[in-house]
Structure 1
Amino acid sequence: MAEHRAGKAGINAEAQARIHSKYNDEIAQETLEWIRKLTGEPANTSGTAENLYEVLKDGTLLCKLVNAIQEGSVKKVNQSTMAFKCMENINAFLEAAKKLGVPPQETFQTIDLWEKQNLYSVVICLQSLGRKAGNYGKPSIGPKEADKNVREFSEEQLKAGQNVISLQYGTNKGQQSGISFGTRRQM
């Protein structure tokens, strides 16, 4: 796993440090407490990156979470601790999360969790899933999602908008300072 690799250096180390600086212990703790409310696990809801990794790394709790939100989301949860079986669990969670409405840009890659490369994106995905859980009658976390605000315009209103000249095209009112074509330079 990640502990057998050489450390990053140079620009890669700077980029990794930037990613790790975004991680927030308080939000991670809130997320773990929400998971415990739905699944009854984990016992330790400390928001440290190390605890989050230890709790979620095999993917079984993630699969239990999506099954708690919608029964049967993940059909087979691997109990094995083999690397590929754990990564299958994480991938199954990600697929189920997308089906529950988590946007693809708010998900993470399996390797982000498995090798602790970007735990910030893991928390973002769980927070997004927490917002979607309210749609399924489960407790939700994070800010409330915005409601759709569809507006209907009549043909008359749409045609009236075509007669308005945007300020991006300039104006013909007042003095047009800044236009000096054809004038002498003042000394």
Structure 2
Amino acid sequence: MANHGPSYGLSRECALKSQAKFNLERAQEALKWVEEVIEQKLEIPNSDEGIRNQADFATALRDGVALCELINRLCPNAVKRINTHTNAPFKHRENLEMFLKGCETYGLKSQDLFQVNDLYENKSLYLVVDCLFACGGMAQKQGFNGPRLGVKVADKNLRNFSEEQISSGKTIIGLQYGSNKGATQSGMSFGNSRKILPSEFMRN
């Protein structure tokens, strides 16, 4: 776990919000899926009881090895070389970066990913959980036959219109632009000159 001092002020407020968004059951479900896909048991303290907190979740994935193996199962050769059997922090970070690049290759969007520090420094672990669920959804879309996680990513609903349909659509005025149908200047008096009749002079 990364060693850093306590947070204060806005940093502490952001940290508390991130912790509140972390769902322990959802994180446990994601870790179980990772184990089933890579067919390995993750190193989690007191794993018989499952993860107890965010620290346990981060410990299981922090070196990036399991994540790289995961994306390689889903998208073969997404990560060419995994840094294993090392305690060097920069190698762990490199693994995480390669995993994230592999996710992009697999089809995940930038909003589905997390930053390396979100996991390595335990900043926003809920984003890591969300990313794993996004991987699970993409795996279903890509036809992965292994264990499932999350909801299948929807396919694009592409529509093809003929030139005639496109041209006719240009002549239609959308309701958001309003309508002047039936509008007249009846009853409007501004801009009209007043007529002075001779009878008005005679009364005066």
Fold match (TM-score > 0.5)? yes
Q: Secondary structure at the match of 1:2?
A: coil
Q: Secondary structure at the match of 2:130?
A: helix
Alpha-carbon distance between aligned partners in 2 of 1:37 and 1:111, rounded to the nearest angstrom:
26
1:87 correspondence with 2:93: yes
1:2 correspondence with 2:7: no
Match of 2:36 in 1: 37
Alpha-carbon distance between aligned partners in 2 of 1:111 and 1:122, rounded to the nearest angstrom:
10
With over 3 angstroms needed to count, the CA separation of the structure-2 counterparts of 1:2 and 1:152, relative to structure 1, is: same
Instruction: Give the 5 Å matches for 1:114-125.
Output: 114-125=120-131
1:113 correspondence with 2:91: no
Partners of 1:27 and 1:47 within 8 A in 2:
no
Q: Which amino acid aligns with 1:76?
A: R
Instruction: Give the 5 Å matches for 1:54-133.
Output: 54-78=59-83, 79-133=85-139
Q: Which amino acid aligns with 2:8?
A: A
**Percent sequence identity over aligned pairs:** 37
Q: Which has the larger radius of gyration?
A: 2
Q: Which amino acid aligns with 2:78?
A: S
Alpha-carbon distance between aligned partners in 2 of 1:117 and 1:174, rounded to the nearest angstrom:
61
Equivalent pairs, count: 179
Task: Identify unmatched segments of 5+ residues in structure 1.
Answer: 183-187
In the TM superposition, residue 163 of structure 1 has moved relative to its aligned partner by 2.0
Task: Identify unmatched segments of 5+ residues in structure 2.
Answer: 191-204
Partners of 1:41 and 1:61 within 8 A in 2:
no
Deviations 1:16-75 (A, max 9, x none): 222222211122111111111112222634373122111011111112212222333323
Partners of 1:59 and 1:89 within 8 A in 2:
yes
RMSD of aligned Cα (Å): 2.6
Deviations 1:124-170 (A, max 9, x none): 11111112223143333111111221111122222221222222222
Partners of 1:34 and 1:141 within 8 A in 2:
yes
With over 3 angstroms needed to count, the CA separation of the structure-2 counterparts of 1:175 and 1:24, relative to structure 1, is: farther
Partners of 2:137 and 2:153 within 8 A in 1:
yes
Alpha-carbon distance between aligned partners in 1 of 2:174 and 2:75, rounded to the nearest angstrom:
49
